[in-house]
Structure 1
């Protein structure tokens, strides 16, 4: 009997070792839950490009937009946990949409691998708007309650909830106009259809560089060197209301530990490379790599905070 068990172990162990050593043996997919072209897509593609040689297999980026990013996230959550399907996300689908759209997933439904950085959200005015500082911006809005409009990434998204929280704290009233990302918000702003662009600094930078927008409010506590006219929430004593757009890599729960370790080590190396950092910073974002546990803690904290705002605005829906 002991001889048979020993023989069985001898047969199983080499097969298991061989499987671990050959992973991956086919291309890996990274699901991006929004349309191509924005910062999320740019960062995902650069990360895939840098990781592929280390893995010895192509890393293919696949865009699956819809439902404020929830369709793509759900696809990753439901994927087979074999290490061949990963996701590159921004925070709205995981910290805001579960409250406002009633998703089938929550913060514990997936494995956080790493986050790569963040960007402030910003509100920007046309060059001729009668305000050149944050204080003047606040005074102008307060003088005409409800008259101005601001675009954002979508009703119930992280920016919408985060900025509404700030506006309520400052006793400011504006009409929100939801879009589907900077690709729609920026043209509407430049065309004069809304008063203020609302979105990430990354999305605003083309207009800032062209001199067609002046950004005055930042949703981070600190200021931003690329936006000298804008001020962060720290200048108003509201640093605790800070909200950013951030990006990270995640995976379905249940991937074998050896595969997950290989994935994490490879993508962390890619994310910490100067080549990747240059891409992030060239988009006006802050390059800051955090490992899985720190990313998971950030998700839980933001999920709880935005849930409170969604309930206050009457936008909360039960999970499905």
Structure 2
């Protein structure tokens, strides 16, 4: 009898993680977004959170912590307990771009990658009278006229600037970067002809492409983007290895249990590929893209290293 009790006790000890995972989550989850309400990351994360609530059977409270290009929210979140009840919904810039040009309290190792959710290209667009009709002609015009053209972007050392410079440096192009507070501000200055080139995300400029107030000639993805048929993908320009995307992901604090990571990644995958979410993303010019766990960590590291080279070449590295 005593031996049986020992065996039973040992079995129970060996299975302590199984009931915990089976019961997870037992209480509400807090989702930190390192940006203010109403932006692209915020709206995408809130829409996704509604689907995750249904699939996880718990409520998700959203906490917006903006500032510092996402670094304030990231720095705050890294203090969270790795118990599965604190998650971080971010875009890639606070993790792979901001640390290149700002002193931040965190590194990639401060987080546990769970799953990416969606992605989209940035685009470079010009006014109708610009002397180019294709991506190749656009790059040739810039190369032939060093520092003649200005391009608006999302701020000094922002992802859009580094995405553009990866392309420009590969072609020996020198253009003048003009920083703004985001794609919306960049677009208004472009439409007002204060800058020659719009550099930003696709969705804000789409209405002006349709009205022929802008023509987008290059996207920063390797592949073409159907929404911008005139724009060349980087693969067609021989620059496929210079791809830079705007993408979003869910992470946890450092030390999050792998079993919880796996469960969350599977549920996020289901939610991202829910027809309602796919339709929502399409309306924003985005597509689902789920990369899980260690593979997501590798993606973050590869992008961080690539953008570090560009930042250093521009003299922006801290």
Normalising by structure 2, what TM-score?
A: 0.89
Which structure 2 residues correspond to residues 255-266 of structure 1 after superposition, within 5 A?
255-266=256-267
| Residues 193-250 of structure 1 deviation map (CA, whole Å, 9 limit, x = unaligned) | 2221111223432433443321111112221111111112222211111111111111
Does the CA-based 8 Å contact 1:119-1:202 persist in structure 2? no
- Which shifted more, 1-10 or 45-54? 1-10
Measure the CA separation in 1 of the matches of 2:35 and 2:4: 56
Residue 77 of structure 2 corresponds to residue 76 of structure 1: yes
**What SS class does the counterpart of residue 78 from structure 2 fall into?**
helix
Residue 243 of structure 2 corresponds to residue 242 of structure 1: yes
- Which shifted more, 16-25 or 193-202? 16-25
Measure the CA separation in 1 of the matches of 2:131 and 2:25: 57
Measure the CA separation in 1 of the matches of 2:208 and 2:146: 26
Measure the CA separation in 1 of the matches of 2:16 and 2:271: 30
Question: Where does residue 300 of structure 1 map in the other structure?
Answer: 301
Any unmatched runs of 5+ in structure 2? none
Change (3 A) 1:127 1:34: farther
**What SS class does the counterpart of residue 192 from structure 1 fall into?**
coil
Which structure 2 residues correspond to residues 69-218 of structure 1 after superposition, within 5 A?
69-218=70-219
Does the CA-based 8 Å contact 1:96-1:158 persist in structure 2? yes
Residue 232 of structure 2 corresponds to residue 225 of structure 1: no
Does the CA-based 8 Å contact 2:143-2:171 persist in structure 1? no
Question: Shift of the alpha carbon at 1:112?
Answer: 0.8
Measure the CA separation in 2 of the matches of 1:273 and 1:13: 36
- Which shifted more, 12-21 or 143-152? 12-21
Does the CA-based 8 Å contact 2:115-2:293 persist in structure 1? yes
Which structure 2 residues correspond to residues 282-293 of structure 1 after superposition, within 5 A?
282-293=283-294
Question: Shift of the alpha carbon at 1:152?
Answer: 1.2
Does the CA-based 8 Å contact 2:48-2:277 persist in structure 1? yes
Does the CA-based 8 Å contact 2:111-2:253 persist in structure 1? yes
CA RMSD of aligned residues (A): 2.6
Change (3 A) 1:171 1:260: closer
**What SS class does the counterpart of residue 277 from structure 1 fall into?**
helix
Normalising by structure 1, what TM-score?
A: 0.88
Change (3 A) 1:134 1:44: same
| Residues 256-286 of structure 1 deviation map (CA, whole Å, 9 limit, x = unaligned) | 3443343223222212222222222221123
Question: Shift of the alpha carbon at 1:12?
Answer: 7.6
| Residues 86-118 of structure 1 deviation map (CA, whole Å, 9 limit, x = unaligned) | 111111111121121122222222111111232
Measure the CA separation in 2 of the matches of 1:248 and 1:183: 22
Any unmatched runs of 5+ in structure 1? none
Change (3 A) 1:202 1:32: farther
Measure the CA separation in 2 of the matches of 1:278 and 1:9: 50
Change (3 A) 1:146 1:205: same
Question: Shift of the alpha carbon at 1:131?
Answer: 2.3
Aligned length: 317
